[in-house]
């Protein structure tokens, strides 16, 4: 098959699909659930727009000039990750009759990017989601709306870079926020986890949280709301999260991510400030603390609009990197990845976790003491 870019680097951002004037490109799932562009040769006119829109082929390195902060919202909203900064940014844009574009789980527990224009529609966009979202035609939608309305787009660094490369033009109305990203898991694994959980509980899941902070921010849980009851499990015990953090089911491009701190296209970067107790103990909040990096003037202007709704303090990039090495370095590809991907198609989650995520006796003792 003709490739736009090396499949090992392709992030599945959909820029090529959205830019194609002949609709000759479709995003097709591979055998483990990741979307890749497929060119329909009979429709292709070899215009080259897909290559020009590809963020990998148009990537540029630049010197880091961002301003770093540690902080949290004065009133941290329910179901938000870390310090609750995203809802403040989103509500600021919505107050100006703008549009917020972010990822949500639909009724089938599939993650997709959607656009909202009302504050009451914001709830599903809050919180971390540890799998890859389907962007669909959202880039084309943004291109149509951004000349007329302010838009806040939130996604992974590669998704933001894909959007910017697709637009190939700076819009004053467009503000992009990317997230400190560990890597994206195949939706195949999450679908398997959800199906097995529903079978075991004999009930249907109506909502799901990857970061339930009812047990604490730094001791968060995974929770599923069923029609009749709620299931909650600490992250350190949850088999899906163990497999995610073992880096076994990440997209291939995540092991050689091209969008680290010196290649970002976002106006603002958000994540967790995990080392807050070490560097700024006075800023620690049990509800969560955010790492905030403001890259551009647009990002700074929006940041200042919400500053009176936050408690923030300037910090150093090195302090954020200390607990978020994925900002500057890709995760290492596990030696067992290929074997795991083959087993993933036939083994259940319990067996996969037992085989690939073993807890040492020392770690078991540490976890017991922490408990």
Same domain, 260 and 156: yes
Same domain, 199 and 303: no
Same domain, 267 and 307: yes
Same domain, 203 and 244: yes
pLDDT of 367 higher than 70: no
- For residue 96, how many other CB atoms are within 10 A of its CB? 10
pLDDT of 370 higher than 60: no
The pLDDT-based confidence of 64 (bands split at 50, 70, 90) is confident
List, for residues 119-135, the tens digit of each pLDDT value.
999 999 999 999 999 99
The pLDDT-based confidence of 314 (bands split at 50, 70, 90) is very high
pLDDT of 360 higher than 70: no
Q: How many domains does the chain have?
A: 2
- For residue 23, how many other CB atoms are within 10 A of its CB? 10
What's the average model confidence in pLDDT over 198-203? 96
Residue predicted with more confidence, 23 or 370: 23
Q: Could you tell me the two tokens for 320?
A: 């954020």
Same domain, 74 and 153: yes
Same domain, 265 and 311: yes
Residue 287, pLDDT score: 92
Instruction: Identify whether 339 is part of a domain.
Output: yes
Instruction: Identify whether 107 is part of a domain.
Output: yes
Listed residue (335, 317, 220, 228) closest to 275, CA to CA? 317
Range of 225's domain?
A: 187-248+335-366
Same domain, 283 and 145: yes
pLDDT of 371 higher than 60: no
pLDDT of 207 higher than 70: yes
| Phi, psi dihedrals of residue 159, rounded to the nearest 5° | -70, -40
Q: Could you tell me the two tokens for 159?
A: 């998704």
Instruction: Identify whether 258 is part of a domain.
Output: yes
CB 230 within 8 A of CB 197: no
pLDDT of 364 higher than 50: no
CATH of the domain at 160: 3.40.640
CB 127 within 8 A of CB 65: no
Instruction: Identify whether 35 is part of a domain.
Output: no
What's the average model confidence in pLDDT over 185-202? 96
Same domain, 108 and 89: yes
The pLDDT-based confidence of 60 (bands split at 50, 70, 90) is confident
C-alpha–C-alpha distance, residues 245 and 314, integer Å: 29
pLDDT of 76 higher than 50: yes
C-alpha–C-alpha distance, residues 269 and 66, integer Å: 10
Same domain, 287 and 153: yes
Residue 62, pLDDT score: 78
Same domain, 230 and 303: no
pLDDT of 1 higher than 60: no
C-alpha–C-alpha distance, residues 143 and 339, integer Å: 41
C-alpha–C-alpha distance, residues 11 and 43, integer Å: 23
pLDDT of 365 higher than 70: no
Q: DSSP letter at 214? A: G
Judge if pTM exceeds 0.85.
yes
C-alpha count within 13 angstroms, C-beta hemisphere, residue 78: 3
Instruction: Identify whether 40 is part of a domain.
Output: no
Same domain, 271 and 160: yes
Same domain, 244 and 255: no
Residue 315, pLDDT score: 97
Residue 358, pLDDT score: 75
List, for residues 325-339, the tens digit of each pLDDT value.
999 999 999 999 999
List, for residues 236-273, the tens digit of each pLDDT value.
999 999 999 999 999 999 999 999 988 889 999 999 99
pLDDT of 361 higher than 60: no
Listed residue (100, 107, 158, 103) closest to 129, CA to CA? 103
Residue 359, pLDDT score: 58
Instruction: Identify whether 17 is part of a domain.
Output: no
CB-based contacts of 255, cutoff 8 Å, min separation 6: 183, 247, 330, 331, 332, 333
C-alpha–C-alpha distance, residues 296 and 14, integer Å: 25
């Amino acid at each position: 098959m003709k490739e736009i870019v090396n499949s090992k680097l392709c992030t599945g951002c959909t820029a090529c699909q959205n830019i194609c004037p002949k609709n000759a490109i479709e995003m097709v799932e591979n055998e483990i659930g990741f979307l890749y562009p497929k060119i329909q040769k009979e429709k292709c006119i070899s215009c080259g727009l897909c290559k020009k829109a590809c963020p990998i082929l148009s990537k540029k390195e630049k010197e880091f000039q961002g301003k770093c902060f540690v902080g949290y919202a004065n009133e941290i909203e329910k179901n938000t990750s870390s310090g609750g900064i995203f809802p403040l940014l989103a509500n600021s844009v919505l107050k100006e009759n703008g549009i917020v574009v972010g990822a949500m789980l639909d009724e089938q527990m599939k993650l997709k990017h959607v656009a909202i224009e009302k504050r009451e529609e914001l709830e599903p966009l809050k919180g971390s989601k540890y799998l890859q979202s389907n962007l669909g035609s959202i880039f084309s939608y943004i291109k149509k709306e951004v000349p007329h309305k302010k838009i806040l787009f939130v996604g992974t660094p590669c998704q933001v870079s894909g959007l910017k490369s697709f637009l190939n033009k700076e819009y004053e109305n467009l503000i992009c926020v990317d997230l400190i990203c560990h890597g994206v898991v195949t939706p195949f694994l999450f679908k398997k986890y959800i199906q097995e959980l529903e079978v075991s509980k004999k009930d249907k899941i109506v909502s799901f949280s990857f970061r339930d902070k009812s047990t604490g921010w730094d001791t968060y849980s995974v929770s599923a709301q069923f029609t009749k009851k709620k299931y909650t499990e600490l992250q350190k015990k949850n088999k899906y999260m163990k497999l995610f953090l073992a880096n076994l089911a990440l997209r291939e491009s995540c092991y050689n991510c091209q969008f680290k701190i010196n290649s970002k296209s976002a106006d603002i970067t958000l994540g967790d400030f995990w080392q807050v107790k070490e560097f700024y103990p006075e800023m620690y909040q049990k509800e969560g603390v955010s790492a905030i990096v403001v890259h551009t003037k647009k990002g700074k202007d929006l940041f200042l609009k919400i500053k009176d709704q936050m408690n923030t303090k300037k910090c150093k990039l090195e302090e954020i990197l200390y607990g978020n090495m994925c900002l500057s370095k890709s995760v290492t590809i596990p030696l067992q990845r290929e074997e795991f991907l083959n087993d993933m198609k036939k083994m259940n989650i319990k067996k996969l976790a037992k085989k690939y995520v073993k807890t040492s006796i020392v770690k078991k003792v540490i976890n017991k003491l922490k408990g």
